[in-house]
Amino acid sequence: MTALLRAVSGLIVWAVAFSALYGLQGLGCALGWDAMMVGPIQLGRAALIALWLAFVAVQAWMIWHFSHHTHGSMFLNRLAVAIAVIGWVATIYTGVPVVTTSMCF
Amino acid sequence: MKALRLHRAFEAIWGAPKGWRGTFSSVNHSTLGIRLMVTAFGFFLIGGILAMLIRAQLATPHSAFVGPEAYAQFFTMHGSIMMFLFAIPMFEGFAIYMLPKMLGTRDFAFPRLTAYGWWCYLFGGSMLLFAMLAGVAPDAGWFMYTPLSSKPYSPGINSDFWLLGITFVEISAIVTAVDIVVTILKMRAPGMSLDKMPLFAWYMLVTTMMMLVGFPPLILGSILLELERAFGWPFFDAARGGDSLLWQHLFWLFGHPEVYIIFLPAAGAVSMILPVMARTRILGYGWIVGAVIALGVLSFGLWVHHMFTVGIPHMALAFFSAASTLVAIPTGVQIFAWIGTLWAGRPQMKMPMLYLIGFFIVFVMGGLTGVMVAVVPFDWQAHDSAFVTAHLHYVLFGGFVFPMLAAAYYWLAHFTGRQYQYRLGTAAFWLILVGFNLTFLQMHIVGLLGQARRIETYPAGIGWTAYNLVSSIGGFILAFGIGLFLIDILLQFFHAPKSRRNPWGAGTLEWAMLIPSTSYNIASIPHVDDREPVHDQPDLALSLARGEGYLAEPRNGWRETLAVKTSSGKIDHIIVLPGNTTLPVWTAVVTGGFFVLMLLKLYWLTLLPLLGLVVMAWRWAAELGRKEDVGALSVGHGLSLVTHAEVQDPPGWWGSIFLLTADGTFFASLLFGYAFLWTVAPAWPPPHLFDAGIADLAAALAGAALAAFGARSALRRLRRGSTGGGALAIAGLTIMLLALCAAVLRAPPPTEHAYNAVLAVLIAYAVFHVAIALLMQVFVLLRARAGFLSPQRSAELRIAQLWADYGVGSGLIVLFAIHVPALIA
């Protein structure tokens, strides 16, 4: 069972990242972080970018880790790497709005 | 002769009594699967008649066919029936019938739950049908948006029928999902590692996990809305701190994954049928598995695309728009794998293949319009128009009905034992394909011309008339096609000649048995070394019937089958399944009693069925178990294994894990609702915060620690041979329950503000779970004293520990969630 959970963990981390970004965006808007500035950018946007990049980094590490450490059958190992790559791409793609769109309008 | 002797012996063990007694007591998966499919098809016909009434109304402008009140009931019931009473039960029924056969096992992990699910579905569906016949059917649309469905705007009983009836049916869906997922993970033929499973099992594994995570938000939403309607708790009433958008979030958290929950099993059927029709093996097995998992998880990031027009900031819109376009990729991977399989093989144009071609054409068109509405600016134009109606029908009819029709023809011999004859099916196919496209293709255009969905009439002279008339004609052609399909299928049942055992030359295990199948599926269980074992061993069916596999000798009248290791498929232990019983139907009756009393607004009396359910659940668990250790028993081929009663993680333990997964999602959705209202809803912060009590919190913490320690200590002592049970855990849980009851006494009145109402639900949730954990600890204590537990037979204690941990964990989270804001303030 742990081998199966490991195999799907790349996308589970994406789900966590996606929920966290959506939640932080809502919270940031509710707390007025769009009006506070950290240097040239809004506090809310800075927090979102930091969170996004943190998840991208964690998922990049997962790809490396699953590629170099095997657990269970070859099929599940390959699946773990493939799902980790899918999750990483999904986090990058679905997180792009943190740098391209308005935060609270 | 040995095959015949085994057949008679197994039939005597696995069969059901004749007559009404058998009808009410059977727990056999084949019987229940067929019942589900037949009932679901009946609902499909009813939903179809409602669709024809809708099209009759819209055929011409200013139609006087029905008034707006009846029309609102038509479209609400059409959508609700097709989604909840047709599509989900149909694939569940198919999976219940077929999965054990494909996996090489004899039944489901929890046969009594399978039967309970069927009865709940029948009773819940009947409640909705009764409402329709009584003229009080739900009429607020199949997604029941508040405030339209709230008491001030829907004062009648109509919406209550929907909320209570659908929740009743959802209970069936949840228990069936647990049943299916444990069966797939634990009850495959030995040797069938995950990468050797038939693809349909992978699809169902992902689908059922999605159900366990996707359905609880809807159940929560329905409970909250019913609480608001019945008792005035204002979760969705903006004037008292609620927010109607919370309903939309909870509904679509379920509603969008639901689309994939319906599509994936059908796609699983495609992946099974298509290679056989192409006379080759499926191309890209691993790619398909990856794509299905990706689809299953990504589909949970799409729900807000149903809410693009409600006024959400651009960034949030873009998150969901990106995820909505992304999901097209794994869908595309599957389609390319299917096209590649056709390319690599030698396709033959048999009936199933015809419907698969229909599926390709219609579903791909629906997928493309799906990408269009995933893009925010386009959605703003098309939202709530007939374009969306057209899109969803292309996806659901194309992605579910066409593959299911292909499946009906492909597996028909399995149900009838007869070979396909006559050519009516071809005519039916063309009527369905042409009728469907005539109905829905130009609905895209009339939608873009401005026709909103759900309107009951429209003026002449605005350019919609011809489109609607053609749509209505198409709808009736489609209905003729479905009628012809039904006649064709009935003809096969009664007039076709007998079929040979594996008429398509398929390679999967469901064809390695007698058709129509027996109650026990296979006289012995095979060892599997390949994804298509029948291809490797063409005489496998005969060999299994002669008892050359595992568990070939009936023993003690037990319903025996094998459990394997989750991933590797290595043989693990023997599962002894419960036999026929009327307990499921009586439990469903008592469950139904609760819902009926809620409908009749006899709220205090609902305590009676709740108490009845406790008694039933107690009996349910008490019927099983043994007072002595049996030890290892022979399963054939020189192997001896213990039974599930003597292992650490029997199916009941796994079932609890997955049921708690669904329960955890319910709880997380409730916490999401709390956070959502706090940050987004108007009229927050609330006028009065909870009156925090440090003493209660400290008592609850102490109780939690005692309960967690006590449950573990009982298990440790049992392993050392002491059967004292968990008195400490009982004491800890009782303290926690008292602390929660103290919180109830200090909680502000729930009708005043949404904050108060959410607090009341949170506390009720915790009380309920701690009470369940307490009841289970008392149960295992009594069982231990009665001699049902031993160092080998410790699983009941382990299961009770799971629930104790969950009760303690959720109780602590609730206490912190209600205390922390008050303490900070």
**pLDDT tens digits, B61-106:** 999 899 999 999 999 999 999 999 999 999 999 999 999 999 999 9
A-chain residues within 8 Å CB-CB of B566?
Answer: 1, 4
- For residue B473, CA distances in Å to A35, B51, B56, B447 come to 57, 12, 9, 18
Q: Could you tell me if A41 lies within 8 Å of chain B, comparing CB atoms? A: no
DSSP classification of residue B280: S
pLDDT, position B722: 75
Bridge partners for A42 per DSSP: A37
Cβ within 8 Å, pair B319-A103: no
Determine the distance in angstroms separating the CA of A54 from the nearest CA of chain B, rounded to an integer.
17
What average pLDDT score do residues A16-44 get?
Answer: 93
Q: Quick one: pLDDT at residue B807? A: 96
CB pairs below 8 Å between A and B: how many? 102
B653: which 2 tokens?
């333990």
Q: Which of B195, B293, B676 sits opposite A73 (nearest CB)?
A: B195
Mean pLDDT on B265-294: 96
B96/B93 Cα distance (integer angstroms): 5
Q: Check CB contact of A27 with chain B, cutoff 8 Å.
A: yes
* Mean pLDDT (whole number) for B257-271: 96
Using a pLDDT cut of 90, give the percent of chain B over it: 86
Q: Do B195 and A26 touch (CB under 8 A)?
A: no
Q: At B695, which amino acid appears?
A: A
CA dist., res. B197 & res. B98, Å (int): 13
Rounded-to-integer distance, Cα B775 and Cα B266, Å: 41
Q: How would you class B539 by CB atoms within 10 Å of its CB: exposed for 0-12, middle for 13-18, buried for 19 or more?
A: exposed
Please check the confidence at residue B618 and state whether its pLDDT lies above 90: yes
**Residue B32 pLDDT more than 80?**
yes
CA–CA distance, B166 with B184 (Å, rounded to integer):
26
Model confidence pLDDT, tens digit, residues B696-712: 889 999 999 999 999 88
Nearest in space to A22 (alpha carbons), one of A48, A53, A43, A55: A48
Average pLDDT over residues B256-269: 95
Separation of alpha carbons B819 and B763, rounded Å: 11
With vertex at residue B233, the alpha carbon angle to CA B231 and CA B236, rounded to the nearest 5 degrees, is 130
Give chain B positions within 8 Å (CB) of A72. Answer: 567-568
Instruction: Give the dihedral of Cα atoms B370, B372, B377, B381; nearest 10 deg.
Output: -80
Six-digit token pair at A68? 């170099």
B172/B80 Cα distance (integer angstroms)? 16
| Per-residue pLDDT at B461 exceeds 80 | yes
CB atoms within 10 A of CB B773: 29
Beta bridge pairs of residue B636? B639
pLDDT, tens only, B393-407: 999 999 999 999 999
How close, in Å, is residue A59 to chain B by CA atoms?
15
Residue B749, helix vs strand vs coil: coil
A positions 65-104 inside 8 Å of B (CB): 72-73, 75-76, 78-79, 82-83, 86, 90, 93-98, 100-104
Name every residue in B having a CB less than 8 A away from some CB of A: 185, 193-195, 286, 289-290, 293-294, 297-298, 300-301, 313-319, 322-323, 326, 330, 566-568, 675-676, 679-680
Please judge whether A14 and B297 are an interchain contact, meaning their C-beta atoms are less than 8 angstroms apart.
Answer: yes
pLDDT band for position B109 (50/70/90)?
Answer: very high
Q: Work out the minimum CA distance from A28 to partner chain B, whole angstroms.
A: 10
pLDDT in tens, B640-654: 999 999 998 999 999
pLDDT at B556 over 70: yes
- pLDDT of B1 strictly over 80: no
Residue B719: its pLDDT value, please? 83
In chain B, % of residues over pLDDT 70: 99
Cβ–Cβ below 8 Å for B301 and A18: yes
Instruction: Tell me the residue type at B816.
Output: F
- Answer yes or no: is pLDDT of B438 > 80: yes
Q: Do A101 and B318 touch (CB under 8 A)?
A: yes
Domains in chain A: boundaries: 2-100
Show the tokens assigned to B683.
């009229």
Residue B724 in this model has a pLDDT that exceeds 80: no
User: Is B722 or B818 the better-scoring residue by pLDDT?
Assistant: B818
Instruction: Indicate whether B725 pLDDT > 70.
Output: no
Contact B326/A93, CB-based, under 8 Å?
Answer: yes
Task: Please name the residue of chain B whose CA is at the shortest distance from the CA of residue A86.
Answer: B294
* Cβ-based contacts of B195 with chain A (< 8 Å): 73, 75-76
pLDDT grade for A96, boundaries at 50, 70 and 90 = very high
Least Cα separation, residue A13 to chain B (angstroms): 10
- What's the pLDDT band for B260 if we cut at 50, 70, 90? very high
State yes or no: pLDDT of B229 exceeds 90: yes
**For residue B586, what pLDDT is reported?**
97
Which of B196, B567, B654, B657 should one mutate to test binding to chain A, selecting the residue with the greatest count of A CBs within 10 A?
B567
pLDDT of residue B721: 78
pLDDT value at position B418?
Answer: 87
SS (H, E, C) B304-370: HHHHCCCCCCHHHHHHHHHHHHHCHHHHHHHHHHHHHHHHHCCCCCCHHHHHHHHHHHHHHHHHHHH
- Predicted confidence (pLDDT) at residue B286 exceeds the cutoff of 90: yes
If you measure CA to CA, which chain A residue comes closest to B300?
A: A15
What is the overall mean pLDDT for chain B?
94
Subunit contact B313:A102, Cβ cutoff 8 A: yes
**Taking CB atoms and an 8 Å cutoff, what residues of chain A touch B322?**
93-94, 96-97
Rounded to an integer, what is the distance from CA B620 to the centroid of its chain?
22
Task: Give residue B377's pLDDT.
Answer: 93
As a whole number of angstroms, the distance between CA B523 and CA B214 comes to: 37
Average pLDDT rounded to a whole number, residues B622-635: 91
